[in-house]
Structure 1
Amino acid sequence: MCISLAISGTLVDTSLYEILEDIICERVHGTGHRDDKCKDTGVQTQLSSLMGGLQAAMMVPGLVLTVPYGALADRYGRVKILGLSLLGITLYMASMAVVCARPDVFSLKLIWLSPAFQVIGGGTMVANPMLYATVADIVTDEQRSSAFMYIGSLVMAGSLVARPITYLAMSRSAWFAMWLGIAWLGITTVLAFCIPETLNVQAAVETDPVAVETPPDGKSPVLRFIATARAYVTKTFKTIRWLFWEQRLVGFLLVGLTFETLGKLAQLVSPQYISKRYKLSYSKVNLLQSIDTVTVLVLLLCILPVAGHLLTTKLRLSAREKDLRLAQGSAVVAALGTLVIATADKMSLLVVGMVTFNLGGGYTYLLRGLMTSLVAGHSIGLLYSCIAFVDTIIFMVAPLLYAWLFNVGLGQGDAWIGLPYLVGGGILVAAAVLVGLIRASFVDDVGTGGEGDEEEGEAGEESTGVR
C-alpha cells in the first residue's frame, strides 16, 4: 500500500508541474515558444501562485473533517476510513486532470475546486494517520518507533522506485504519466478495502477513559440520532482535552511536531527552485530528487537504529530520552541542510545540502512513536487525526508562505532565490530548541533508564488503560 501510494503520487505530482508550465508558457509566449522561455520569471511566478493555491485548497477538507473521521476510526475501524479517503483522493486527481486537459474551456484556477472531492474520506490528512493507526494497533510500545521508521522506509522505497518510472513515463509524455498515476491510485484504493481490520472495537470501548452518554430510549429516531451525534461530538472534545491537556507531555510534543513540519515544508518549492536555478527540466529534477529517497532510507534503516542502540546500551538512556535526543539532533541537521541548499551556487553543493537535509528526517517518526506510547489504543486514531488537523493548518499556510517567499526571492535576484530555505532553516532551529526545553522540563517523565522507566510504564498502563 505504501509503495503504491508513493508511485502514484509521484507520477501525478511531477506531471502536473510539467503540464501546467506548458499551458502557462503557451499563453505567455505563444505556441512556438522555446523550452527555455518557460523558465523565465513571468511563467514561474504564475506557476508558483497556481500551485500554492492548489496546495492550500487541498488542505480544506482535512481541516474540517480530519478529527471527525479520526473519532469514527476509533469507533468503527481503520480500514473503512482509509478506503474512503483514497477514493476521495482518486476523484480529486481525476477532476484536476480533466480541467488541465481542456484549458480552452476551463480556467486553470478551477483546479482549486478539485479538492472538494476529498470530502469523501477527508483526503491525505486522513489517509496518513489511518496508515499509522493501523500499524500502531498491532505492535508493542517497544516496537512502535521502529515500526514507524519502517513505514517511512517503505514510503521512501516506493519513492525510489517511482523516480525512474516517472522519468520513463514523462519521456513518453506528461499526460501519459498523469493518467498512469491516477489509474495506479484507483487500483490501490480497491486494495485498501481488502486490508484486514486491526481495531478491536470492544476492547477500545472498554478501556476508553471518556464515556459516551447514550440517549435514553423512547425518543423518536430523529431526536435519538441528534442526541447520539451530540454525545459523540462532546466525547471527541473531552478526549482531545484529555490527550493534550491532562497529558502535558503529549501536548508539548505536538507543538514540537508543528515547528518541524512547518520548517521542512520549505521543500515544497524544491522542484521549481532547482529547475529555475540550475535550468533543469522537471523530469530531470524528479530524477535528481532520488538522492532524497536514498538518504532517508539509509537514515531510517541504518543510522537511526544504530544511534538508538548506542544511546540505550552505552549511555544507558531510557527509550523516551533516547527518542528526544535523536529528535533534537535531527532538527539541527535538517536546519543545516536547508541553509546549504539556500546558498548552493553549484550542483555539487546542492547535493550536499539535500543529503544533509534528509539526514534530519527522523524527527517525525521519533516524536510520533513517543506520543503513541503515552496514550491508550482507544485514542490512537483521534491522536493521529489531531496531529493531522494541525498539519492541515500548516499545509494551508506553508504553500502560500513559501510561494510568496520564492516570489520575493525571484524579485530580488538569483542571490535570494533560496529565501524559502533560509526561513525554513530558522524554524527548524526553533524545533530543536523546543525539544531541548521538553527534555529539561520533563526529566522526571522521560526518565534516565532502567527501573524508573519500568515503574512509570506500569503506572501509565494503570492510568490510561494501555493494553
Structure 2
Amino acid sequence: MTTRPMSAREDEPLLNPNARSYRTRSVIILVALVIVITSVAGGLIGLPFVRLIEDAICQEHYASRPVEGGLFITSDVDEAHCKVDAVQARLAYILAIQEMLDAIAGFTFALPYGLFADRIGRTKVLALSFLGIWLAGCWAGLVVWQRNLFPIWTIWFSTAFQAIGGGPGIPMTMIYTIITDVQVEAERTNTFFYVSVCGMIADLIAPTLAASLMAVSPWLPFTIGISAMAFAMLLTLSIPETYHARTSLTPSPSEGSSNAQTKLYGLLHHLNQILAMFKSRSLCLIFVSFVGEQLILKNSGFAMRYVSKRFSWPLSRFGYFMSARALVGILIYLLILPRISSFLQHRMLFSPLRKDLLLARTMGTILAIGLFLAAGPTLGCVLSGLLLVTIGSSSTTICRSIAAHFVDSRHVASMYTFLNLLNTAGAILASPLLASTFVLGMRWGGDWQGLPYLCLGVLGTISAIALFLIRRGTGEVEEMEDDGEL
C-alpha cells in the first residue's frame, strides 16, 4: 500500500463543469427522492407491523388464560393487556431472531452484491435490493394476516428473500457509493448530511402518519407502506448509472479466460482489496468505531419496545415521540452540522479530514452520553437520552466520509461493501444482545430494566475512544496496489 495526494478520478470522462454539476445534482435529487419514499414506507410498515405481531402473540397468550376479572378473551385484546412480561419476552424473541437472520443473510450476500455493483452497476443492485425487501415484507404480512394458517414464527422465512439484492444493508451501501462516485471530496460530507436529512424528514412524517392511521387499523399504514416500497423500486431504475467499468481490472477475452474464471478473478480481486484495507491503522480504527456504532444504532426499533414496556406507553404514542426525535435530527443534519462543517473548513481552514475527525469525535461522545442516559430511571431521562442518541448518531455518517479519505477512488465500492459487512455483523450481534439483556432486565426488575442501554453505553464509549485514537492529519489517501500484494 502506498500513499499519494488525493486526485480527481482518473477513469471519469472529462465533462464540461456545468454538465457535470447538472449530472451530479440530478443523481443526488433522484437518490434523495428514493430515500424519502423508502423511509416513509419503512416508517409506515415498522410501527404497525410490531403491533400486529404483538397482537397475534397476545391472542395466543390469552386464548387459554383469563385477564383481570377472570374473563377469557376470544376476540380483540386491548393493547394494555399485551404489556405483560410473557407477551413482551416472546415478542422480543421473535423480532430478535428475525433481525439476526436478516443480518446473517446480509452478511452472506453483501460481498457478492458488492462485486455485482462493479459489474452490472450500482442502480441495478439497488433496485434488486428493494425487490428482495419488498418480497420479504409481503411474506411477513401474509403470515400475520393468515395467522390461523401460519405460526407466527414463520415470518422468519422472509429472510430467504434477502438473497435477492443482498438484504436491507445494500441500499445505503449503494447510495453512499453513488454519491461518492459523483460528488467532489470537499462537498461529500455535507452531501451525506443532506441525504441523511431525507431519511429524517420521512421519520418525521411516517411515525405520526402511521400512528394516526393505526387508529383505524394497523393494516392500513402497513398496506400503504408496502405499496410505496414497490413504487420506490421502480423509481430506482431512473437513476443514471454512475459506475464506469475499468477494463484493466477484468481479464481480456484474448487471454482465453472462461466466464467462471473471470468471475473467480473478480471475486478474488474484490476480496484482496478488502483485506488490503487492514494495512491502514486509521481504517482499522474507523472499522472498530463503525461496528460499535452499528451495534448501538440497531436499537432504533428496540427503543420503541423498551419504552412501551418499561413505562406502559402505547406503541402509537411512541410514534409521536419518533417524529419529535426526527425533527431534532433534521435540525442537526440540515442546519447545525453543515454550518459547523463550513465554518471549520472555510474560516478555521481545517482540512476536510481534520474537520471530519473533530465532528465525528464530538458526535461519538454525545452518542455515548445519550446511551447511558437512556438507561436512567425516569421517562424524562430515557427520552432525553434517546434524543442525544439521535444527535450523536451522525457520527456514523461522518465515519463513512472519513473512511473514503483513506482509500483511492477506485476502491470506494470495496470499502463501502466492507462497511456494509460490518453493519450486518453489528446487527447479528445486536439482536441477541438487546433481546437477552431486555429479558434479563425485566427479570431483575426496577432500574435494571435499563440494562440494555448500559451495555450499549459501554460500546458507545469504546467506539468514541477508537475515533480519538486516529492520528491522521494529512489529506493523503492510502492506495491499495492493483498487484494484489498483501
Alignment correspondent of 1:417: 449
Do the aligned partners of 2:291 and 2:425 also contact (CA within 8 Å) in 1? no
Do the aligned partners of 1:80 and 1:193 also contact (CA within 8 Å) in 2? yes
Do the aligned partners of 1:312 and 1:319 also contact (CA within 8 Å) in 2? yes
Mapped to 2, the partners of 1:323 and 1:199 lie a distance apart of 26
How far apart are residue 461 of structure 1 and its match? 8.6
Alignment correspondent of 1:374: 406
2:356 to 323, 332, 336: 323
Q: Please, which moves more after superposition, 276-285 or 153-162?
A: 276-285
2:464 to 414, 420, 432: 432
Do the aligned partners of 2:377 and 2:447 also contact (CA within 8 Å) in 1? no
Alignment correspondent of 2:265: 231
Do the aligned partners of 1:167 and 1:287 also contact (CA within 8 Å) in 2? yes
Greater percentage in helix: 1
How far apart are residue 309 of structure 1 and its match? 3.4
Alignment correspondent of 2:389: 357
Provide, for residues 106-147 of structure 1, a one-character-per-residue CA deviation record: whole Å limited to 9, x for no partner: 111111111111111112111110111111111000011111
Alignment correspondent of 2:6: none
Residue 58 of structure 1 pairs with residue 92 of structure 2:
no
Mapped to 2, the partners of 1:239 and 1:118 lie a distance apart of 25
Mapped to 2, the partners of 1:358 and 1:373 lie a distance apart of 25
2:44 to 1, 6, 11: 11
Mapped to 2, the partners of 1:13 and 1:200 lie a distance apart of 36
How far apart are residue 218 of structure 1 and its match? 5.6
Mapped to 2, the partners of 1:241 and 1:358 lie a distance apart of 32
Do the aligned partners of 1:66 and 1:385 also contact (CA within 8 Å) in 2? yes
Alignment correspondent of 1:194: 238
Give the 3-state SS of the residue equivalent to 2:169 in structure 1. helix
Count how many residue pairs are aligned between Structure 1 and Structure 2: 438
Alignment correspondent of 1:384: 416
- What is the identity, as a one-letter code, of the residue corresponding to 1:279? S
Do the aligned partners of 1:292 and 1:355 also contact (CA within 8 Å) in 2? yes
1:257 to 290, 307, 327: 290
Task: Indicate how the Cα distance of structure 1 residues 272 and 462 shifts in structure 2: closer, same or farther if over 3 A, else same.
Answer: closer
Q: How does 1:57-136 map to 2 (within 5 A)?
A: 57-136=101-180
Mapped to 2, the partners of 1:21 and 1:299 lie a distance apart of 34
- What is the identity, as a one-letter code, of the residue corresponding to 1:416? W
Mapped to 1, the partners of 2:59 and 2:446 lie a distance apart of 25
Do the aligned partners of 2:285 and 2:469 also contact (CA within 8 Å) in 1? no
How far apart are residue 251 of structure 1 and its match? 3.0
Do the aligned partners of 1:265 and 1:424 also contact (CA within 8 Å) in 2? no
- What is the identity, as a one-letter code, of the residue corresponding to 2:294? T
Give the 3-state SS of the residue equivalent to 1:328 in structure 2. helix
Provide, for residues 82-101 of structure 1, a one-character-per-residue CA deviation record: whole Å limited to 9, x for no partner: 01110111001001111111
Mapped to 2, the partners of 1:265 and 1:35 lie a distance apart of 25
Alignment correspondent of 2:324: 291
- Where structure 1 has 5 or more consecutive residues not aligned to the other structure, the ranges are 448-452
Do the aligned partners of 1:92 and 1:118 also contact (CA within 8 Å) in 2? yes
Do the aligned partners of 2:101 and 2:159 also contact (CA within 8 Å) in 1? yes
Do the aligned partners of 2:371 and 2:460 also contact (CA within 8 Å) in 1? no
Do the aligned partners of 2:297 and 2:393 also contact (CA within 8 Å) in 1? no
Alignment correspondent of 2:61: 28
2:212 to 156, 160, 168: 168
How far apart are residue 279 of structure 1 and its match? 1.5
Do the aligned partners of 2:113 and 2:125 also contact (CA within 8 Å) in 1? yes
- What is the identity, as a one-letter code, of the residue corresponding to 1:321? R
How far apart are residue 248 of structure 1 and its match? 3.9
Alignment correspondent of 1:157: 201
Do the aligned partners of 1:340 and 1:350 also contact (CA within 8 Å) in 2? yes
Alignment correspondent of 1:308: 341
Do the aligned partners of 1:52 and 1:403 also contact (CA within 8 Å) in 2? yes
How far apart are residue 249 of structure 1 and its match? 2.5
Do the aligned partners of 1:269 and 1:406 also contact (CA within 8 Å) in 2? no
How far apart are residue 305 of structure 1 and its match? 2.2
How far apart are residue 77 of structure 1 and its match? 1.2
1:272 to 297, 305, 322: 305
1:400 to 426, 429, 432: 432
How far apart are residue 308 of structure 1 and its match? 2.5
Task: Indicate how the Cα distance of structure 1 residues 172 and 34 shifts in structure 2: closer, same or farther if over 3 A, else same.
Answer: closer
Do the aligned partners of 1:263 and 1:423 also contact (CA within 8 Å) in 2? no
How far apart are residue 216 of structure 1 and its match? 5.5
Do the aligned partners of 2:143 and 2:150 also contact (CA within 8 Å) in 1? yes
Alignment correspondent of 2:275: 241
How far apart are residue 36 of structure 1 and its match? 1.9
* TM-score with structure 2 setting the length: 0.85
Mapped to 1, the partners of 2:480 and 2:136 lie a distance apart of 44
Do the aligned partners of 1:266 and 1:420 also contact (CA within 8 Å) in 2? no
Q: Please, which moves more after superposition, 422-431 or 157-166?
A: 157-166
Give the 3-state SS of the residue equivalent to 2:149 in structure 1. coil
- What is the identity, as a one-letter code, of the residue corresponding to 2:268? T
Alignment correspondent of 1:341: 374
When the two chains are superposed, the root-mean-square deviation of aligned CA atoms in Å is: 2.1
How far apart are residue 406 of structure 1 and its match? 0.4
Give the 3-state SS of the residue equivalent to 2:407 in structure 1. coil
How far apart are residue 168 of structure 1 and its match? 2.2
Alignment correspondent of 1:138: 182
Mapped to 2, the partners of 1:462 and 1:111 lie a distance apart of 42
- Where structure 2 has 5 or more consecutive residues not aligned to the other structure, the ranges are 1-33, 64-72
Task: Indicate how the Cα distance of structure 1 residues 295 and 282 shifts in structure 2: closer, same or farther if over 3 A, else same.
Answer: same
Alignment correspondent of 1:450: none
Instruction: State, as a whole percentage, how many aligned pairs show the same letter.
Output: 26
Q: Please, which moves more after superposition, 294-303 or 349-358?
A: 349-358
Mapped to 1, the partners of 2:318 and 2:180 lie a distance apart of 35
Give the 3-state SS of the residue equivalent to 1:188 in structure 2. helix
Mapped to 1, the partners of 2:296 and 2:480 lie a distance apart of 37
Task: Indicate how the Cα distance of structure 1 residues 390 and 372 shifts in structure 2: closer, same or farther if over 3 A, else same.
Answer: same
- What is the identity, as a one-letter code, of the residue corresponding to 2:260? I
Q: Please, which moves more after superposition, 6-15 or 158-167?
A: 158-167
